[in-house]
Amino acid sequence: MTRLSRPARVLLLGPPGSGKGTQTERLLKRFAIPGISSGDILRRHIRDGTEIGVLASSITSQGKLLPDNLMTKVVASELGRRRWLSPSMSWLLDGFPRTEAQANMLDAKELEPAHAGLNFVVELKVPEDVMVERIANRLVHVPSGRVYNLTYNPPKVPGHDDITGEPLTRRPDDDPEVFRKRIKEYRASTEPLLEYYSKTTTNVLWSVAGETSDAIFERLETEVVRRF
């Protein structure tokens, strides 16, 4: 594990299946950077049958995004329970913000005390056919957000989480038809964010392309060390 010399406040952006969850897990292990995934938060709400979960279930299964205000509230409430979202610490956001409106809400201090702002926005670029193949073979452990892939990183015991032994599930939105809608939604709502970050803060946006998460992580790790 490596200690960084200054705080890294990181956002991972990329289409469905590009490896945001996978890179989050690796960064956590390598640099001890805590993080949250907006998709994981919603899946826990769905599992628990909360009011937000009922709405999230119907929206995510159509491959659409939740309304910006609601999503910001959900993330804010999750962050309120954590002590690490401070400008003086390193932290990582997977999947939030993913629209310009959400980015504005983060920057507008609605999510105190994140007001020091993001200082590293990573765009993951993976060929579309590779992402389709990946999500067809994905299994998840909803309580922890750990992701598996039947060919790439299969669980030690088929169908069960490596750490807890609990059952793994498939995500309903990993259906090929819904996946196509999620890709479209990414292009329409999230890609504009890349331009937003390249305009608002100099040198904050960094894009990395690759066909495997191993190749991408090697470059990401080097870049984190170089910057922080």
Under the binding rule (CB under 6 A), the answer on residue 114 touching ligand G5P is no
* C-alpha distances out from residue 203 to 118, 163, 194, 206, Å: 11, 38, 12, 7
Closer CB to Mg ion, 9 or 146, in the complex: 146
**CA torsion through residues 191, 225, 111, 65, sign:** positive
Tell me the number of residues near ligand G5P by CB under 6 A.
35
Mention every residue, 6+ apart, whose C-beta is less than 8 A from residue 154.
148
Q: Which residue number is nearest to ligand G5P in terms of Cβ?
A: 39
Closer CB to Mg ion, 90 or 213, in the complex: 213
Q: How far, in whole angstroms, is CA 189 from its chain's centroid?
A: 15
Q: How far, in whole angstroms, is CA 73 from its chain's centroid?
A: 17
Under the binding rule (CB under 6 A), the answer on residue 90 touching ligand G5P is no
Contacts of ligand G5P in 142-181 (CB under 6 A): 147-149, 151-153, 173
What is the per-residue binding string for Mg ion in 36-55, x denoting contact by CB under 5 A? Answer: ---x----------------
Closer CB to Mg ion, 15 or 21, in the complex: 21
Residue 102 belongs to what H/E stretch? Answer: helix 100-107
Could you say which of 60, 85, 106, 118 contacts ligand G5P (CB under 6 A)?
A: 60
- Taking each helix axis from N to C terminus, what angle separates 213-227 and 20-31, rounded to the nearest 10 degrees? 50
Under the binding rule (CB under 6 A), the answer on residue 213 touching ligand G5P is yes
What is the per-residue binding string for ligand G5P in 23-42, x denoting contact by CB under 6 A? Answer: ---------------xx--x
Closer CB to Mg ion, 39 or 155, in the complex: 39
* CB 20, CB 14: distance < 8 Å: yes
Q: Which of 89, 118, 82 is nearest to 102 (CA)?
A: 118
Under the binding rule (CB under 6 A), the answer on residue 98 touching ligand G5P is yes
- Neighbour-count burial of 12, counting CB atoms closer than 10 A to its CB (0-12 exposed, 13-18 middle, 19+ buried): buried
Closer CB to Mg ion, 111 or 124, in the complex: 124
Binding site for ligand G5P (CB under 6 A): 14, 16-22, 38-39, 42, 59-60, 63-66, 71, 95-96, 98, 102, 134-135, 138, 147-149, 151-153, 173, 182, 212-213
